[in-house]
Amino acid sequence: MRLANKIAVITGGGTGIGAATARAFAAEGAQVILFGRRAAPLEKTASEIGERALAITGDITREDEVNRLIEKTLKTHGHIDIVVHNAGVFRPAPLHETKNPLWDDTMDINLRGPFLLTREALKVMVPRGSGNLIFVNSILGTVGVPDAAAYAASKGGLLQLARSVAVEYGSRGIRANSVCPGMINTNMTAELRADKAWAEALKKEYPLGRFGTVDDVARACLYLAGDESAFVTGAVLPVDGGYTAR
């Protein structure tokens, strides 16, 4: 029960990494608030978890809906201990073919949304003198690959947002860290992995010889959420099977 009595908000909490993280946190005693745009997967995951979960539907890019998330969480639980920024989109395209709406939507969801939620969460955490923000980033926030400029730029910005929070608010008892997954077996990457020849070639770039699972990432988030990482802030934790060590 490493997270007993902790209140954790998890964006993109209905599927993939978000759902796995919610299950891991709840199993360790946390009350989890699952936030996302699609009600059905949120409610399904909350139902699977049981009484430790609450589903709230909303759009991370809309300030009024972020405020509603904070208000409903405080009304239900009274405070917020942990925020896991997991909501995100990946829409690959060569940069010279990237249209403005794709760029803007990627930045809104992957960077502006976390900014909005971080800002409002800090207003709750600062008076309490404690808080923990975990940013689910990507190895593409640290390295470049073709056809991913919008995504990589958004994740690079997110990495610096987390570091800025760590430096600015560490003296107030608030930590901020980034988890950077490599290729993970999720719905978001399913279309890419459907090209079997490409996927097998990419696996050879991973020293551990496989792609990651959602539970690999959830366990990293659990470490950063608990007291075992009490002296860790501003860190960038790759969960990538050694890809970025090459």
Catalytic site positions: 151
Contact yes or no for 199/192 (Cβ under 8 A): yes
Q: In what order do the strands lie in the sheet with 174-181?
A: 53-57, 31-36, 7-11, 82-85, 131-136, 174-181, 236-239
Dihedral angle computed from the Cα positions of residues 16, 120, 166 and 179, in that order, rounded to the nearest 10 degrees: 0
Neighbours of 125 (CB within 10 A): 23
Contact yes or no for 224/167 (Cβ under 8 A): no
Contacts of 229 (CB under 8 A, 6+ apart): 175, 177, 223
Contacts of 105 (CB under 8 A, 6+ apart): 89, 91
H helices within the chain, ranges in order? 16-27, 39-49, 63-77, 100-107, 113-128, 149-169, 187-193, 196-203, 214-225
> How distant, in Å, are the alpha carbons of 38, 53, 222 from that of 69?
14, 14, 22
